[in-house]
Structure 1
């Protein structure tokens, strides 16, 4: 069996996926010239052109389009097989992919409690806003923020989000006390723009529901990470539009308070996801059950604190 050079096939897959030698080179940590060399090597070996070099564009030839699905499937299969072997060798390590704001405000403060009940499992937290590709990445579990539609993955709802203003307790009785939503016109509004196209309530929606239409919903600083917005609110720099998971601990500790009763439901939530084949592995099952227990306890504590 005579196969083309494996490295050339790997370079071809990356270049075909990006339709760019430059981006493929960046992903593979090589030079663009090295990518071009490997593609030329593969084309010479196969005897057919795989790319059409257009002005400011790179396109696959018919032969390239025919080859790509098989190459991609082969690398996916290799990735899955090696990942399973590594998982078997490192049974005590659990790699979790999670968005940075949720990691900082909710997951990381609880890691010690997980370690107490499962000392045999070492967590590795991979904080990223990128969607995890379980076939290509060495990740066991993902904590995703969305509506819960994750085809071909085992999915479990961790918690749904609700939206409401939060602030440092000192603002309640300061120079401009927060008695009614209209009093927000005297305060800085803090905005979370981590997911700018997220179909969930923001300040405009909350103020409209509260009847405080004279308050300018657009003013105030914006943060590209929700955890930074929460820290700004704790520091007394303004009133933030809080999300349940990101502020529940700060509220339980008295660092933040909810000045008004109005709460708006969101369409997004946090979901525990993993490949179906690994959903019942002991370390993944243990982590999932612990997450659900922690979420339930936190929500119950928050409800009691606001009761």
Structure 2
């Protein structure tokens, strides 16, 4: 009997994906290639095997009986490959945890707390790196930004990023609810008798609003506070939230931001929340990791730890807000 040459791995992947989805289009999306490329790979595989694996219907495909048997064995083979890779990954860098975070989140929130995780798990080598996403003029929730996060997740164990949590194929945990409100020094707070008084001060802009929400934080807040006649576009703008918060601590104006990133300055009394109006955000900081990486014990340990820290932060802010509302009533 003539020996059939081994088919290419690409053709096997194309067939397995198309058979699992029963869709050429979905297989192409999963493999990040065109539908024509998937069809070509499957056709080459069928020619290589000398057998039809699919019935081509109008806008659909259906496996032949031989295709079904081939798919079952091929699926088992891919699962064994995945298990073998997972075994290698579990031993390679067993005690190393690599984390990608935005710069402001790292400096203002994560790093002041990370020592507690390191103390609890001295056997884990935590490596933190910071990166900024590149933004274009695409609309909110655009594929390019999502793809950037997915690419980072292929390079690091955990990616912490600001967003809605829509990262297909990833394990995603939202850290805590976020809201926007003005923050300022106690000295400036004493001059703010009513919300309209912010017009007498420089507005400091945390640009995350425009970058992620398509609307400035100040515009959101002024609308919620029902304040008209204030030019929310005036004032210096900061791509890094940490710089906007530092400017507020220095008394250069009032910043519209998320108190989460200013928790240290608030706790020390350098910044205060002059009003009780808060605007909930649709986005928050998300902990993102690949499913295969998420099964590592150190990933679970870190995720549990950071979620506990996030809950404590949210609880603290809720208590503070309730106290402020009672005090101002």
| CA displacement at 1:303 relative to structure 2 | 2.5
Find out whether 1:278 has 2:293 as its counterpart: yes
TM-score by length of 2: 0.64
Alignment correspondent of 1:260: 275
RMSD: 3.2
Alignment correspondent of 1:204: 219
Q: Contact 1:134 / 1:140 at 8 angstroms: preserved in 2?
A: no
Find out whether 1:247 has 2:247 as its counterpart: no
Q: Distance in 2 between matches of 1:159 and 1:301?
A: 12
Find out whether 1:104 has 2:119 as its counterpart: no
Ranges in structure 1 where 5+ consecutive residues have no aligned partner: 2-61, 68-77
Q: 1:195 to 1:179 in 2, by over 3 A?
A: closer
Q: Distance in 2 between matches of 1:270 and 1:147?
A: 8
| CA displacement at 1:153 relative to structure 2 | 0.5
| CA displacement at 1:150 relative to structure 2 | 0.9
Q: Contact 2:117 / 2:305 at 8 angstroms: preserved in 1?
A: yes
Q: Distance in 1 between matches of 2:123 and 2:155?
A: 19
Ranges in structure 2 where 5+ consecutive residues have no aligned partner: 6-35, 42-80, 134-147, 324-329
Find out whether 1:187 has 2:201 as its counterpart: yes
The residue matched to 2:282 in structure 1 has which SS? strand
**Larger Rg belongs to:** 2
Q: 1:139 to 1:81 in 2, by over 3 A?
A: farther
Alignment correspondent of 2:187: 170
Q: Distance in 1 between matches of 2:265 and 2:127?
A: 24
Determine which structure has the larger helix proportion and give its number: 2
The residue matched to 1:198 in structure 2 has which SS? helix
Q: 1:90 to 1:189 in 2, by over 3 A?
A: same
Q: Distance in 2 between matches of 1:142 and 1:81?
A: 24
What are the Cα deviations for residues 179-225 of structure 1, in whole angstroms up to 9, with x where unaligned?
11111111000012246342256212211222321222111000111
**Equivalent residues, number:** 239
Alignment correspondent of 2:60: none
Alignment correspondent of 1:149: 166
Q: 1:134 to 1:215 in 2, by over 3 A?
A: closer
